[in-house]
Amino acid sequence: MIAVSASKLSTADLNNLMRALEIDVVALTEILVPRGHRVEMGMIDTPAIHYNLKGSGRISINRGPNMQLMPHLLIIVPPNTPFSIEVDGGDGTTRLINRDCWKRDEEGILRVAVPNEKPEVVQICGFFNASFGQSVGLFRDLREPVVEQFEPSDKIDGKLREVMNELLSQELGMGAMTASLLKQVIIALARRSLKSSQSWTDRFSILADRQITRAFADMVARPGAAHTVQSLAHTASLSRSAFMARFSEIFGRSPMAILRDLRMRQAALDLATTTTPVDVVAHNAGYESRSSFVRAFRKAYDVDPSEYRQSVKNGEGDKGA
């Protein structure tokens, strides 16, 4: 296990990583728990973000010890991790809110609630993916929850309310807007971490080695640059062999394999959002020839770049939102 701390991760590196981070909102719901009730949720294969809007109660993550819920407490829960939320009713017992209470109300918002019962705890719970390219997930290897106490002045609740309103409206650009709003919440968490005595970046394997993270941040900031294993090792201030070993241990893949993934994602975004000629997209993605770029793109997306662009134009493909 790598033991190098991320506590000295530079602001510039974090800026590069946050700029390149892509957010995909999978689901969002309000959880309303009255006194004397509890909610139990099973495993979902994405990270979850919990933000307590009001009220006091308890949350247990992965059947672990209870944690006190307070207003403006934010928790990131690892993927495939069950959780329960409960509020005492005064006699020390709680009634289970059946999962069948997952339903949309008259406004179309997904809620977990008890009809005709006033909620004590009101929480927004979102399931999402946060990734660099297609294969590197920021929270994928998270083993323990990330917990931060915010203040009303941080306005996290307002951003999450906006996400819910966007999902409800189903207007043009809804996916991009919800992703942007949730990304602002993640960035607020990163900022808070820099001021905290216990940095949340220490929880993530891809950020746990400051030297490797420096090289990875350069890759995500400039995927089309003429990176080589040797140049990336130099950025990390490591020998070539040490860099390869530590990078592969953290990411489970070689630096060049991760770089190809980042380049393909950048190319897909360029194809989806610009009219730049394919030859120029290939060059910007770090490919000297169109033919080698087309082969790599077809392998990643199962279509040629021109076909991909047309499918996005027709509303059939991944718009990179």
The CA distance from 32 to 181, in Å, is 22
pLDDT confidence band for 108 (50 / 70 / 90): very low
pLDDT of 224: 94
Residues in the chain: 321
Across 43-57, 65-79, 127-141, 275-289, least confident range: 127-141
Residue 192 burial (10 A CB sphere; 0-12, 13-18, 19+): middle
> Which residues is 66 bridged to in the sheet?
60
Three-state DSSP class for 131? strand
Residue 33 reports pLDDT greater than 80: yes
Residue 149 to residue 159: CA distance in whole angstroms = 16
Does the structure show a pLDDT above 80 at 198? no
Q: Of 177, 191, 157, 164, give the one whose Cα is nearest residue 73.
A: 157
What is each CA distance from 180 to 115, 123, 185, in whole angstroms?
33, 20, 9
Query: In the prediction, which pLDDT does 6 show?
Result: 43
Q: Which residue has the higher pLDDT, 245 or 317?
A: 245
Q: Give the pLDDT of residue 55.
A: 93
Q: Is the pLDDT of residue 19 over 90?
A: no
Contacts of 177 (CB under 8 A, 6+ apart): 166
**pLDDT above 70 (res 319):** no
Relative orientation angle of helices 174-195 and 11-20, to the nearest 10 degrees: 160
- The reported pLDDT for the residue numbered 16 is 86
Is the pLDDT at 8 greater than 80, yes or no? no
- Measured between alpha carbons, how far is 156 from 189 in angstroms, rounded to an integer? 10
Q: 133 with 262: CB under 8 angstroms?
A: yes
| pTM (two decimals) | 0.78
CB 57 within 8 A of CB 86: yes
Most confident region among 63-72, 101-110, 230-239, 266-275 by mean pLDDT: 230-239
User: Residue 98 — very low, low, confident or very high, per pLDDT cuts 50/70/90?
Assistant: low
Asked whether the beta carbons of 150 and 192 are under 8 A apart, the reply is yes
pLDDT of 3 > 70? The answer is: no
* Across 109-113, 158-162, 189-193, 242-246, least confident range: 109-113
